[in-house]
Amino acid sequence: MSVARAYGAIAIAALLLALLPVMVQSNTVINALVTAMIIALAAQGWNLLAGYGGQFSFGHAAFFGAGAYGNAILQTRYGINAYAAMLTATAIGAAVGAVIGYLSFRSGLRGSYFALITLAFAEVFRIIANATPFTGGAAGTLIKLQVSAANFQFASRAIYFWIILAIVTAVMFLMRGIERSRFGAYLVAVRENEDAAAALGVDTLDVKLKAIMLSAAMTALAGAFYVQYFLFVDSSIAFGTWISVEALLGPIIGGLGTVFGPLLGALALHFLGELAKAVAGRVLGIDLALFGILLVLIIAFARDGLQGLLTRLARLWRARRPA
Amino acid sequence: MTSLDILAAAVLNGLMSGAVYALIAVGLTLVYGVLHIINFAHGAILSAAMFAAYLAFQAGVDPYVAMVPLALIFFGLGYGLQRLVIGPASHGDDRNILLITLGLSIVIENLLLAVFNSDTRTVDVAYGFSTLDLGFTFLALPRAAAFGVSCLVAVLLWILLAQTDTGKAIRAVAKEKLGASLAGIDVAHIYAVTFGLGAACLAIAACLLLPTYYVHPRVGNAYVLVAFTIVVLGGMGSIPGAIAGGLFVGVVESLSGLMFGESLGQLGIFVIFILVLLIRPTGLFGAKA
Amino acid sequence: MSKTGKTGLSRRRVLEGGAALVAGAVAMPAYLRAQGAAIKIGILQPVTGALAFDGAQGQIGAVAAIKAINDKGGIKSLGGAKLEMVFGDARSTPEGGTAEVERMAAEGVVAIVGGFASPICLAATQAASRYDLGYIVDVGVSDQIVSRGLTNTFRFAPGFGIVTKSALDNLVTINDAAGKPARTVVLVHEDGLFGSGLAKLMQAELPKRGFEILDTIAHPTPARDMSNVALQIRSKNPDLIIPSSYYGEFVLLARTMQQQKIKPKGIFCVLNGAASNYRFVKEFPEAAQNVMDCNHWYDPRNAVAQALKKEVEASGKFFTYNVALNYSGVLLLADAIERAASADRKAIVAALASSTFAGHIMPYGPTQFVGGQNTGAAPVNTQVQDNDIKVIFPASFADAKPVFPVPA
């Protein structure tokens, strides 16, 4: 794939999405898009570690929550500016990733074991956040509503959308860069066969650590943005299993280990969820049941998810056209 | 009442809870031992089993009477799930199995939610408030029954694995999949039998829990995280480990709850869990990997 | 049960609004207000997810109130304009609430009632404030809701502060009237927002009023077992137990205490999920007998409330306080629209701010909002007596006398 093709597709997709708020002025739609983008960003983080690196985390909430609480607490307790707080919160997320990664990878945890330990860390954080006064305890932490660009609070929801879209786009460029880099190649090598990669001289611990730090940073930024958008966080929002599950549903449905997978998946999930509601009416849980079935079906029949489906369709289309 | 009495009562409580934890964990560890994956749908299947027991009760069947039929039904369901869904869909890749069991847990939980709503349901059995007076404490009869039956089931399972042909086949597959299949063992069948046994354990646990606990679509999650801890503690795949681990966790939880409060008591379990994973992932009773 | 599944793998936290993509295109804000045209009001409740039970209850109340108003001729100052409900499912999450407020605003509602849980109310009121949309909080007890200076936000029911203060006052009065049988207390609370906050306040206030706190026991939701809590209670042998838990856990506790033959002089709940719930009373009459609760409740002497209760029970539902609160909240809003004689959002907010509405079915005096909080609101004390829930305090609303201390 040429450089232009590799990055161009991302740029075009981003531009098209960026035009949405201009075309549809409904805040309902824009709000939905912002939420979808937050999930997409968290999902990009998960996808880097799991889709490319093969380390399946079931506890990305640990990083999302670190970013969310980090941002909220830095602003409310220490009066730090919102922009600085978000950046710091992202760094905190990376640090949490480094600690969890170092501990578990050093102990050689993989597969089920790694999934379990990430789950346990997220749960421990949730219990602690729910119990300590520092995080606002069970009442959570509320950022004061003071609409002003200096506080990263905007009257227009479209601005939030453009910012989160810009972040997601930047992350996608980064992911494309990683895909084409030596680091990316090592990461895939670790996924395919860790022992073989190590035998070939890849420092697998180092590769996995870098991956989890980057992954955690992305998901933490999603958490920080979540708080900045809703101005409220509590322990079950921050460290609840919901975000761990959504961060992995998106990439799997969109296309595991692909740059577009998390974005496609997050948008598709939103759309499907509402479709399910429209069709099945207000039956509790029917949309999530559907997602679960979709997840099983995709793993059974289409490992590369929607992204793969689109690629195949495109190939079919090109094959049909006389050259 | 003296502090010694409280301590004794707390240990007793812990053992009662721990036995049921152990039963749930035995199902999990059995599946791990053979299929080498954590079954993330374990909690959801427990929820489903509790609803099944609840429905049976509504139809006039006492949970203790429903225990054996439900165990058989859930054996069948578990067998089918592995044979028809998990096996074929995962293409034999461990990571796929992981995701598929997670997907199944989402499906099962939400289907329960769709059918039963999120109400909390309880049953009122005639013996629900019967107790044994032990002098230092009153022991609720349903909890004592849960303890007894859990231990009995664990022993039966142990005998099944050690003495029967199926049991030997299961152990063979657990040790060496390829060799077992060369020796003429139908691996797919054994996988499904194992999964079925795990589900049957859950059905029994559900019938034991119903008289003292409540039912709602996410109820299984309250138990499954503890079961994970026990499985890791006891060594993934080890049945005696799961039993000892279950009783141990029950007592630790009970005592730490008494000393540090119930909320932080939960934390204690997870801290043990993480430490064991990091320091000795094969568990306290597990064989060296 | 109002909250569980914090640990649920599939906590229903969704992807709201995605369809907004579909709905938004259809629902362009094309509301032309002809004289007498229907007035849209938003009803926001979490009818799916962990809080679905409570949300559905709230919805019953709101629907009944809209019907009652329309049957009586709608909004008279607007030529008999009918109220039209725009329902939003908050999906038990703050994002869900926000997404639905956006949709309601786009569909042209003039104000919103509901929310139920504090996190949903916090997010939804904030989203509504962007459009100067009046928002009547039905339950949401966190006092953060009315301390942010949002001029569009009105809480009709009492919050934490008021409930706890009333609970303490009521407790002292009931105890004094009975000849001060209770002096020692054990607090049992769930470790979430409600329980922890209340326990903290209780710990500060109870000693000042002559009570001795022997122990404070926190438990998680969901809790697998209450045996140890019961054990601790038994060893401390308090006169009074003050539990603050959700439905499932309180039922477990009450049953375990019954098993363990723990019989304190009184169980005095505060904002308890079960003690003011007819289901608990129906399913465990023995464990529920004589449990007191300081909580939201309807005015049992009010004829409208009695009729509504009959109607709700006839349809096979339980008459919970959510029904009464949402019923009253919609009446309060209709009154404001009536007085504003306009469907203008700002005019309605102004009318709400100056409301002195007294036609509700709650045991409150006339409405008066100070900083968004209805200072006329107060909880009452209920007690389970002979398979029914009676109001025992304050005397002006009571339909029964307290049974305290509970006969051994």
B79: contact with C, CB 8 A cutoff: no
- DSSP-derived 3-state class of residue A209: helix
- C124: closest chain A residue by CA: A230
The share of chain A scoring above pLDDT 90, in percent, equals 56
Q: Which domain holds residue C316?
A: 20-157+302-374
Comparing C-alpha atoms, which of C50, A211, A291, A286 is closest to residue B99? A291
Calpha distance A269→A20 (Å, rounded): 18
The C-alpha of A287 sits at a distance from chain B's nearest C-alpha, in angstroms, of 8
How many other C-beta atoms are found inside a 10 Å radius of the C-beta of residue A185? 15
The C-alpha of B100 sits at a distance from chain A's nearest C-alpha, in angstroms, of 5
Given an 8 Å threshold on Cβ–Cβ distance, is C17 in contact with A245?
Answer: no
- The answer on C254 and C384 residing in a single domain is yes
Calpha distance A306→B176 (Å, rounded): 37
Comparing C-alpha atoms, which of C381, C355, C361 is closest to residue C154? C355
Q: What number is the average pLDDT over the span A5-20?
A: 90
What's the pLDDT score for residue C80? 92
Bridge pairing between strands C292-295 and C266-270: parallel
- The answer on C276 and C312 residing in a single domain is no
List of chain A residues whose C-beta atoms are within 8 Å of the C-beta of residue B278: 103-104, 107, 109, 117
Given an 8 Å threshold on Cβ–Cβ distance, is A140 in contact with C150?
Answer: no
Q: Report how far Cα C75 is from the mean position of its chain's Cα atoms.
A: 27
Q: Which of C24, C144, C197 sits opposite A29 (nearest CB)?
A: C24
Choose the mutation target among C12, C15, C16, C144 for the interface with A, i.e. most A CBs under 10 Å.
Answer: C15
Q: Cα angle at B234 between B230 and B237, to 5 degrees?
A: 100
List of chain A residues whose C-beta atoms are within 8 Å of the C-beta of residue C10: 241-242, 245, 285, 288, 292
Given an 8 Å threshold on Cβ–Cβ distance, is C123 in contact with A230?
Answer: yes
Flag whether pLDDT at B184 surpasses 90: no
Given an 8 Å threshold on Cβ–Cβ distance, is C283 in contact with B124?
Answer: yes
- The answer on C253 and C324 residing in a single domain is no
User: Over the stretch B252-278, which tens digit does the pLDDT of each residue have?
Assistant: 888 887 777 776 767 777 888 888 888
Residue at A276 is within a domain = no
Choose the mutation target among C1, C10, C232 for the interface with B, i.e. most B CBs under 10 Å.
Answer: C10
C316: contact with B, CB 8 A cutoff: no
What's the pLDDT score for residue B144? 92
Query: In which region does residue C355 sit, left (phi positive, over 0), alpha (psi from -120 to 50) or beta (all else)?
Result: beta
Interface list for A 108-137 with C (CB within 8 A): 123, 126-127, 130-131, 137
List of chain A residues whose C-beta atoms are within 8 Å of the C-beta of residue B271: 124
- B120: closest chain C residue by CA: C1
The C-alpha of B224 sits at a distance from chain A's nearest C-alpha, in angstroms, of 12
Comparing C-alpha atoms, which of C129, C125, C199, C131 is closest to residue C156? C125
| Token pair 């939103």 in the structure block, residue | A270
Calpha distance B61→B68 (Å, rounded): 12
- C279: closest chain B residue by CA: B121
What's the pLDDT score for residue B270? 82
List of chain C residues whose C-beta atoms are within 8 Å of the C-beta of residue B226: 224
Say which CATH number the domain at C201 has. Answer: 3.40.50.2300
Q: Report how far Cα C130 is from the mean position of its chain's Cα atoms.
A: 25
Q: How many CB pairs under 8 A join A and C?
A: 161
- The answer on C358 and C385 residing in a single domain is no
How many other C-beta atoms are found inside a 10 Å radius of the C-beta of residue B288? 6
List of chain B residues whose C-beta atoms are within 8 Å of the C-beta of residue A285: 109-114, 217
- Which residues have C-beta within 8 Å of that of residue C42, sequence separation ≥ 6? C86, C87, C88, C100, C101, C104, C109, C111, C112, C113, C114, C133
* E strand map for A68-150: 141-142
- DSSP-derived 3-state class of residue C240: strand
| Token pair 């060799």 in the structure block, residue | B179
List of chain B residues whose C-beta atoms are within 8 Å of the C-beta of residue C258: 129
Given an 8 Å threshold on Cβ–Cβ distance, is A295 in contact with B100?
Answer: yes
List of chain C residues whose C-beta atoms are within 8 Å of the C-beta of residue B122: 251, 283-284
Calpha distance A69→A59 (Å, rounded): 16
The C-alpha of B112 sits at a distance from chain A's nearest C-alpha, in angstroms, of 8
- B220: closest chain C residue by CA: C8
Given an 8 Å threshold on Cβ–Cβ distance, is B120 in contact with C251?
Answer: yes
Residue at C249 is within a domain = yes
The C-alpha of A252 sits at a distance from chain B's nearest C-alpha, in angstroms, of 9
C258: contact with B, CB 8 A cutoff: yes
| Helix B141-163 / helix B187-209 crossing angle, nearest 10 deg | 170
DSSP β-bridge partners for residue C43: C87, C113
- C236: closest chain B residue by CA: B1
What's the pLDDT score for residue B279? 84
- A289: closest chain B residue by CA: B107
What's the pLDDT score for residue B269? 79
Residue at C10 is within a domain = no
Number of structural domains chain A divides into: 1
Residue at C129 is within a domain = yes
Residue at C15 is within a domain = no
What's the pLDDT score for residue A214? 97
Choose the mutation target among A20, A25, A28 for the interface with C, i.e. most C CBs under 10 Å.
Answer: A28
What's the pLDDT score for residue B118? 74
- C9: closest chain A residue by CA: A241
Per-residue confidence in pLDDT tens, chain C, 408 aa: 333 333 333 333 333 333 333 343 334 333 444 445 899 999 999 987 778 888 989 999 999 999 999 999 999 999 999 999 999 988 888 888 998 998 899 899 999 999 999 889 999 999 999 899 999 999 998 888 998 889 999 999 999 888 988 998 999 999 999 999 999 999 998 887 678 878 888 899 899 999 999 999 988 877 888 888 898 898 889 999 999 888 888 888 998 898 888 899 999 998 887 788 888 898 888 889 999 999 999 999 999 999 999 999 999 888 999 999 999 999 999 999 999 999 999 999 999 999 999 999 999 999 999 999 999 999 999 999 999 999 998 889 999 999 999 987
Comparing C-alpha atoms, which of C188, C103, C112, C118 is closest to residue C148? C118
- The answer on C279 and C184 residing in a single domain is yes
What's the pLDDT score for residue C36? 56
Calpha distance B64→C361 (Å, rounded): 47
Bridge pairing between strands C388-393 and C380-385: antiparallel
A107: contact with B, CB 8 A cutoff: yes
pLDDT band at residue B176, thresholds of 50, 70 and 90? confident
- DSSP-derived 3-state class of residue B102: helix
Q: What number is the average pLDDT over the span A93-112?
A: 92
Given an 8 Å threshold on Cβ–Cβ distance, is C28 in contact with A287?
Answer: no
List of chain C residues whose C-beta atoms are within 8 Å of the C-beta of residue A277: 19
Flag whether pLDDT at B2 surpasses 80: no
Calpha distance C198→C232 (Å, rounded): 20
The C-alpha of B168 sits at a distance from chain C's nearest C-alpha, in angstroms, of 35
pLDDT band at residue A322, thresholds of 50, 70 and 90? low
Residue at A255 is within a domain = no
pLDDT band at residue A314, thresholds of 50, 70 and 90? confident
What's the pLDDT score for residue C178? 92
Residue with the larger pLDDT of the pair A253 and A283? A253
- The answer on C248 and C332 residing in a single domain is no
Residue at A231 is within a domain = yes
Residue at C241 is within a domain = yes
| Helix B42-58 / helix B221-234 crossing angle, nearest 10 deg | 130
What's the pLDDT score for residue A287? 77
Number of structural domains chain C divides into: 2
C365: contact with B, CB 8 A cutoff: no
List of chain B residues whose C-beta atoms are within 8 Å of the C-beta of residue C247: 120
Residue at C38 is within a domain = yes
Asked if B114 and A286 touch (Cβ cutoff 8 Å), the reply is yes
Given an 8 Å threshold on Cβ–Cβ distance, is C10 in contact with B222?
Answer: no
Given an 8 Å threshold on Cβ–Cβ distance, is A139 in contact with C144?
Answer: yes
- The answer on C239 and C387 residing in a single domain is yes
Q: Which domain holds residue A159?
A: 3-240
Calpha distance A65→A240 (Å, rounded): 8
- The answer on C52 and C124 residing in a single domain is yes
- B114: closest chain A residue by CA: A284
Q: What is the DSSP letter of B115?
A: H
Q: Cα angle at C219 between C218 and C225, to 5 degrees?
A: 140
Residue with the larger pLDDT of the pair A87 and C91? A87
Residue at A294 is within a domain = no
Asked if A190 and A197 touch (Cβ cutoff 8 Å), the reply is yes
Given an 8 Å threshold on Cβ–Cβ distance, is A35 in contact with C197?
Answer: no
- The answer on C255 and C363 residing in a single domain is no
Outline where A47-110 has alpha helix (H). Answer: 61-78, 82-106
The share of chain A scoring above pLDDT 70, in percent, equals 97
What's the pLDDT score for residue B68? 95
Choose the mutation target among B120, B130, B224, B228 for the interface with C, i.e. most C CBs under 10 Å.
Answer: B120
Q: What number is the average pLDDT over the span A85-93?
A: 97
- A280: closest chain B residue by CA: B114
- The answer on C240 and C219 residing in a single domain is yes
Residue at C254 is within a domain = yes
Lowest mean pLDDT among A11-25, A292-306, C92-106, C337-351: A292-306
Model ipTM value: 0.83
How many other C-beta atoms are found inside a 10 Å radius of the C-beta of residue A314? 10
What's the token pair of residue A42?
């968290």
Calpha distance A122→A100 (Å, rounded): 10
- Which residues have C-beta within 8 Å of that of residue B124, sequence separation ≥ 6? C283, C284
